[in-house]
Every structure is written in C-alpha cells, then in structure tokens.
Amino acid sequence: MEYILFLGYLLFFSWLVTRVKFFTKTGLSAPQLIILFLLKVLAGIFYGWIGRYYGNLAQMQDTWAYHVNSLQEYQLLLNDPWTFFTNIFYNPYEGGFMKFFISQDSYWSDIKGNFFIKILSLFNVFSFGHYYVNVIIYSFLSLFGPIAIFHVMNHAFPGKRLQILLATFLIPSFLYWCSGIHKEGLIFLGISIAVYHVYFASVDGRITFKRVLWILLGLLLMMILRNFLIVMVVPALVAWLISIKWPRYTIAIYGAIYLLSALVFFNIRKINPEYDFPQAVVNKQQEFLQLSGSSSIPIKTLEPTAISFLKNTPQAITLSAIRPYPSDVRHLLSLAAATEINLILILLLIYLLFMLKIHPKKGFIWFCIFFSFSVLLSIGFSVNNLGAIVRYRSIVLPFLIIPLVAGIDWNRFSTIFNGKRQAGLK
C-alpha cells in the first residue's frame, strides 16, 4: 500500500509543480521544475534513512520522533477534532504566555514542536501515516521557499540566472536540512515569504495590505518554529525598509539600526526583566553544554554582559561560520559539512579577487549580510554541538552564497584561470 501511495503522490506532485503559477513564472521549464522537486524528495528520503539507521548522527533522531508523535495526533484528529484544533493553545505553565525566550517549561518552548507535529498529522490524513509519503508532501510545501528566493535573486542579479539557480538549489547542507522532515524547511519558508514580499513591494514602490499580511504570516511562522529568529530578522527588515527610502545612506542606516538593536538587547531588561536577552542566550548555551553528543566541543562560557559577548565573538564566528574543521570529521555528514564550508571559503576568496564592480539592490545585499551574520553569531554564542550548528546555519546559507556567486565576474575568472592553465601546460 505504501509503495502505491508513494508512486501515486510522486507522480501527482511532479505534475503539480509544473502547474503552480508561482513556480512556472520563474521561467524554469517543466522538466527543470520536476528535477528540482525530485532532488528535494531524494534529499528528504535520504534524511529519513539516516535518521532511522544512524539516529545519533548529528541529532538525526528527531525526524522519526516527530513522525511517531504525529501519528498520535492523527488519531486525536480522527477521534476528537475539537481537542485536536484547540489543545495547541493550552498552556500548563505558570506565567502565562510571557516566557517568550525561556527554553524550558514555557509555552513558547513547546509550541515549535507541537505546531510542527500538528502539520505532520494533517499530512497523515493524505498519507495514512506513511513517513516517506509525507516526505513528498513536505518537499512540495517547502519548495515554495527556495522558489521565492530564486524569484528575488533572479530579479536582483539580472543575467545571472544559471549561477543563481545552482546556488539556490544545490547548496548541499541547505538541500539536505531543508528537505528532510524537520523544522528547517518551514522556517526557511517563513523567511522567504517575508523577504519575497518586502523585496517586490520595494520594486513596486508601494506595499499593499495583501503583502503586509503575507509578511506577517512569514514572521509568524518564524516566531512559532524558532522564536529567536524574530530578534534577528526585525532589525534587518527595518534597516532594509528605511534604506529603500534613502538609498544613499544605506550603510549608515544599517549601522545605526544595529547599534540601536545592540543597546536594546543589553538594556531592555532594566525596563522589563522578562526580556533579559543576554541571560536567555547564556541559558541556551548552558543547555547545550549539558547535552552529550559525539560532535559536541568545549567552548568558553558566556556571561550576560556586553563585555563577555564581545570577548566571545571570535569564538562564535569561528564556530558558526568556519567549523567543522577537517579534524572535526567523525562521519559522513561531518565530512560533507567540512568539505562544504571549505568550498564556501574558497568561493569567498574568488569573490574578493574577481568581484563585479556593480552591486545592484545594495539595500537588499546588506540585508542578506546583516541578517545572516546576526543569525550565525546567535548560533555561535549558544551552540557547541557541530551537528546542530550545521543544521541551524543551513537556513541562511542561500542569503550569503547566492550574492557571492552572482557577484563574481566569471568571465574574467575563467579567462585568467584558462590562461594560467595553458601556460602551465606549455
């Protein structure tokens, strides 16, 4: 039965991706869209296989735990629909809904898993509880994220279509982590929805009520599934929106907004102790330090002060942007992650040597940089498990790699590279 369902849904969604207007208006052909969809399905299947047979590898056991829990919620949906749709709002903890950044014993710490399980349980209505059939449905839904970013990047960097296509869909860790049944695919979808509508509102020169609703929906999805990302994305979006109005002062605007954000981050607790952001980061780091894992590494501990954060910044950047090192390789996934990060560093070097002189949509490019690095810093400050770091950072890699690839003068690079190679042959 599962094989018949799998084949039937695979054929149906392969056809559907060629009919959805949001996909087809990219200009990609039907075969290209099908190939991209099948790549996500294959990555999702591999993700599930790794999670089943090598569950302790890079925190991979979660995907099947979500599936098992979704089967229980599916039965609840069949037997008691009212409870199914209302129990997600139940909060058993003291303090109401105010413990927004508390990692344990808080509604907001539970909602990310509960919401994702609810989504999977709705998939079970159509898949009859088969994991790999759910992979197909999830691949289709999460495909909207990279397609939205492809729309944006293709418009921002005209004439770079092939480079953008490859950089959007073939970043290994992004394809892997955002295709498997885990939260990353939906988190990236939320980010992409917000970015897509802000970008094209700036292109149109006006923002409609419909776009505002879409932006709020994207932010809501991010807030539910990984709430700390709201702290990262809001300053970047605000700076981007202001820079659209005054493009000559783009760098100054981003600098001012992030300086103000840093001041708020470290001082808002003096106004309301519930929003002690530095302590929340310290608590998150302590939770990871207490976890045991094959890819956990020793790090300097944080204190909830600006000086401590400043001292730990080099460590945070190294952890989230450069590791795993080749010496950190313990298994296939860590080998892939170490290879990928070294290729990205090589790509950065090529960009610095062969960058194009013109950088269109400067406000958007700075959004990509500031948002991505604020997320990387937050990861580096709080996480010491390399497997978790690779998964968490996968959602921002497209915002860094696509501008790099699109900003390289590949003609000049190939001319010099081929010239040196021919000289070497002589």
Distance between CA 143 and CA 179 in Å, rounded? Answer: 8
Question: Which pLDDT score, from 0 to 100, does residue 62 have?
Answer: 85
Distance between CA 382 and CA 379 in Å, rounded? Answer: 5
pLDDT in tens, 38-67: 999 999 999 998 888 776 554 567 888 999
Q: In Å, how far from its chain's centre is CA 238?
A: 20
The residue ranges of the chain whose pLDDT is under 50 are: 58, 425
DSSP letter (8 states) at residue 18: T
Burial class from Cβ neighbours inside 10 Å (0-12, 13-18, 19+) for residue 162 reads: exposed
Residues sharing a CB contact under 8 Å with residue 5, sequence separation 6 or more, in sequence order: 127, 128, 130, 133
pLDDT in tens, 111-128: 888 899 999 999 999 999
Question: Which pLDDT score, from 0 to 100, does residue 413 have?
Answer: 80
User: If you count DSSP H runs as helices and E runs as strands, how many of each does the chain have, helices first?
Assistant: 20, 0
The model carries a pTM of 0.92
Start-to-end CA distance of the chain, whole Å, equals 63
> Domains of the chain: which residue ranges?
2-425
Residues sharing a CB contact under 8 Å with residue 96, sequence separation 6 or more, in sequence order: none
Question: Which pLDDT score, from 0 to 100, does residue 420 have?
Answer: 57
Helix (H/G/I), strand (E/B), else coil: 408: strand
Q: Are 133 and 7 in contact (CB under 8 A)?
A: no
DSSP letter (8 states) at residue 305: S
